Structure 1
Amino acid sequence: MKTNIKEKALATLVCIALVGCASSENEPKEFDGSLYSGKPVESLTNEAPPKTEIEAITRGDAALSTKNYDLALYEYLRSLSFTDATHQNKTLYTVGRIHSAKGNYPLAEKAYIQALDYDEFDVKSLEELGLLYTKQGLTEEGRSYFFRAVNADQVRLNNPDVLTSYSEVTDEILQSLPYDSKSPFRSYMGLGILADVDSKHDIAKRYYERALEINPRSTQAMINLGYSHYMSGSYYLAQRITNRALKTEPNNEKALNNLALIYISLGDNRQALNIFKRHMSTPEALNNVGYFLMLKGKPDEAIPYLQQAIDKNPSYYKIANENLERALSEVRLNEVEEVDKEQTGA
């Protein structure tokens, strides 16, 4: 009997010890504020601290849904302090998105990079880093992360043939890559934009086309594809694609500007003027037509539009007059060059 009592007592002590151990293991670490930026945390909530990672995340989600970004950040970061946390990757991605929305790019970058410490193939964090860097003009870094996001997506889709080098990507290679609705269309679009910047318009078009295959409703991808065709001289195709984008977003200024440029390239200056006038004043539209005609090497055609811009709005005189002086100078220079050619017989 005594042995039985001793055994029960020992079992109880062991049980208490194990519960104590488990409780101490689940206790949160001290709050790490290195990824926090906002109001003083003591002013954010009077609620008792969350007891689990999931409770903290749920509180963060609730705060985010009401656009209480500081409280959302605080709760998400508290979820990371639990020693048994398992959702760090997704939480850090969300923290990065909040910082990006607030314009705090250094902390957004830090959060995304920490997310990658938990999952190096996290497509979303890789893509966000690509967007973050290109937005800041760091094109090489942006390209690198867009490329990594595409490769991480291939790993997700169980494709063993990941891309090895950005410079070696061809139409055929891009066409062969599997994709689905979860694939990072913004990474493909970002790679397309950077290819256009490098004057690699053919491969840029393939990137945009893949972005549209993933997300057919992306107006931005349509606009970019149209502009890429414009840059490579396919004006009628550029016109059709840009008009398609405008059917989705009739007042999209970028699409309207691109369409006006296309009409100028097609020699339809009047239609270009009408397009510009859809989202700007008449003097501004006249100045724009004149300015872009100058860029096209047609200063003589630009002059009447610039003169009309000056006549219609004296307060707009300075910009239009500067452009008019430039157009007149270019016309005079062209006349001198023509005379020189006649005299030299060139």
Structure 2
Amino acid sequence: MKIRSSFIVVTLLIGLISGCATTQKQSSVMNQLYDGRPVNSLKVADAPKTEQEAIERGDVAMRAQNYDLALFEYIRSLEFKPAQYRDKTFYTIGRIHQMRENYTLSEKAYYMALKENPNNIEVLQQLGTNYSKQGDLEQGKSFFIRAINADQLRLNSRYTLPRETKDVETVNALSLDDKSPISAYMGLGIIYDMKSSHTVAQAFYKRALKIQPKSSKLLLNIGYSYYMSGDYTEAKRATLAALEIDPNNLRAQNNLALIYLGHGKIQRALNVFMQQMKDYEALNNVGYFLLIEGHPDKAIPYLQQAIDKKPSYYKAANENLERALAEVKAQASQ
């Protein structure tokens, strides 16, 4: 049944685009990348006369959130030869599929885009993001580096990013403008943080901040990187800057509390937690983070207070208290 409906769709498409120069290979692209509803339900206009006209029709359909029609029109634009925008169109098709959570087709479209233009920065950056989110950090890193190096080529820079970066001077030498791939810089920052190369990670975040100075997300990442490296002063500065831009950011508030705890300012951490949760939850959080930071003796009174505040319900605090008591006992026996 599926094969038969696909055949009907293709037959309709060939009829609709009659008058355009087509090939078996190009029709195959429609077969590979179109997954919308039947074409005869799309209210398709007469065949476009140029690649640009087909793209403009796709743009209109996108603005109207008619994604099937947009997909169909963008794919039709690929029928024209010569074509100027094939890599960009494949990228847009990939984004539509990704938005619809059809990741197989989105990846196929992205790789088709790279076949047309191996230095398409947006495609390289998107693939880096996708692989990183799937947990394939090496692939993600590779595509982020390719995106940044393609950007250096665009900017006529004499610098490129090597496979492994060990010093901040290499990162700081990279050229930037407002079109540079901010997600690639931020993605590499996250990957280097995960490898505990915090100084290099911070250099990538700061380059990204040059592209988008008012990004609370970037400031938050910088702050957390400094927190992980034990520089609580810089961590606090960056996190407060993030909160100044986005005062209701719960992650930033949570990070600020962690920074205060790392700095030994327990009451200030508790006050921050109290602003966003119940008192017994805040007390448990303080106790829990003191526990995982290696201070079970300091954690015990906060966990006991959390239990006192909510004795019939707060199971988490009881479990954390048992762990804290066990760790204190173990330390005493040693």
Output the TM-score relative to the length of structure 2: 0.87
State the 1:147 CA deviation.
0.5
CA contact (8 A) 1:64 1:72 kept: yes
Per the alignment, residue 118 of structure 2 pairs with 120
The residue identity in structure 1 corresponding to 2:146 is: R
CA contact (8 A) 1:251 1:279 kept: no
Per the alignment, residue 311 of structure 1 pairs with 308
**Is residue 330 of structure 2 the alignment partner of residue 336 of structure 1?**
no
State the 1:36 CA deviation.
2.8
Query: Quick one: structure 1 residues 77 and 196, their matched pair in 2 at CA, closer, same or farther if it must change by over 3 Å?
Result: same
- Tell me, in whole angstroms, the C-alpha distance in 2 between the residues paired with 1:63 and 1:314: 57
- Tell me, in whole angstroms, the C-alpha distance in 2 between the residues paired with 1:37 and 1:253: 39
Query: Quick one: structure 1 residues 147 and 316, their matched pair in 2 at CA, closer, same or farther if it must change by over 3 Å?
Result: farther
Query: Quick one: structure 1 residues 41 and 291, their matched pair in 2 at CA, closer, same or farther if it must change by over 3 Å?
Result: farther
Q: Which protein has the larger Cα radius of gyration, Structure 1 or Structure 2?
A: 1
Per the alignment, residue 26 of structure 1 pairs with 21
Query: Quick one: structure 1 residues 46 and 71, their matched pair in 2 at CA, closer, same or farther if it must change by over 3 Å?
Result: closer
Deviates more, 1:310-319 or 1:107-116: 310-319
Equivalent of residue 155 in structure 1, options 130, 140, 153: 153
Per the alignment, residue 68 of structure 1 pairs with 66
State the 1:50 CA deviation.
3.0
**Is residue 176 of structure 2 the alignment partner of residue 179 of structure 1?**
yes
- Tell me, in whole angstroms, the C-alpha distance in 2 between the residues paired with 1:310 and 1:70: 55
Deviates more, 1:259-268 or 1:283-292: 283-292
Equivalent of residue 217 in structure 1, options 207, 214, 231: 214
**Is residue 256 of structure 2 the alignment partner of residue 238 of structure 1?**
no
State the 1:82 CA deviation.
2.8
Per the alignment, residue 102 of structure 1 pairs with 100
State the 1:117 CA deviation.
0.9
CA contact (8 A) 1:25 1:84 kept: no
Deviations 1:91-141 (A, max 9, x none): 111112222223332222221111111111111110011001101111000
- Tell me, in whole angstroms, the C-alpha distance in 2 between the residues paired with 1:220 and 1:153: 22
**Is residue 266 of structure 2 the alignment partner of residue 269 of structure 1?**
yes
State the 1:25 CA deviation.
6.2
Per the alignment, residue 201 of structure 2 pairs with 204
Percent identity between the aligned chains? 52
Deviations 1:145-166 (A, max 9, x none): 0000110011101123323x23
- Tell me, in whole angstroms, the C-alpha distance in 1 between the residues paired with 2:22 and 2:173: 49
Query: Quick one: structure 1 residues 95 and 284, their matched pair in 2 at CA, closer, same or farther if it must change by over 3 Å?
Result: farther
Partner SS, residue 84 of structure 2: coil
CA contact (8 A) 2:21 2:79 kept: no
Structure 1 unaligned blocks of 5 or more: 1-22, 338-346
Where do residues 271-310 of structure 1 align in structure 2 (5 Å cutoff)? 271-310=268-307
The residue identity in structure 1 corresponding to 2:191 is: L
Deviations 1:236-259 (A, max 9, x none): 111011000100011112211211
CA contact (8 A) 2:291 2:324 kept: yes
CA contact (8 A) 2:260 2:266 kept: yes
CA contact (8 A) 2:159 2:173 kept: no
Per the alignment, residue 57 of structure 2 pairs with 59
Partner SS, residue 164 of structure 2: helix
State the 1:295 CA deviation.
0.6
CA contact (8 A) 2:291 2:299 kept: yes
CA contact (8 A) 1:283 1:316 kept: no
Per the alignment, residue 249 of structure 1 pairs with 246
Q: How many positions carry a matched residue from both structures?
A: 314
State the 1:314 CA deviation.
4.8
Per the alignment, residue 91 of structure 1 pairs with 89
- Tell me, in whole angstroms, the C-alpha distance in 2 between the residues paired with 1:89 and 1:232: 41
State the Cα RMSD in Å: 2.0
CA contact (8 A) 1:130 1:146 kept: yes
Equivalent of residue 81 in structure 1, options 68, 76, 79: 79
Query: Quick one: structure 1 residues 140 and 182, their matched pair in 2 at CA, closer, same or farther if it must change by over 3 Å?
Result: same
Output the TM-score relative to the length of structure 1: 0.85
Deviations 1:161-193 (A, max 9, x none): 323x23245211222222111111211111111
The residue identity in structure 2 corresponding to 1:91 is: T
Partner SS, residue 32 of structure 1: helix
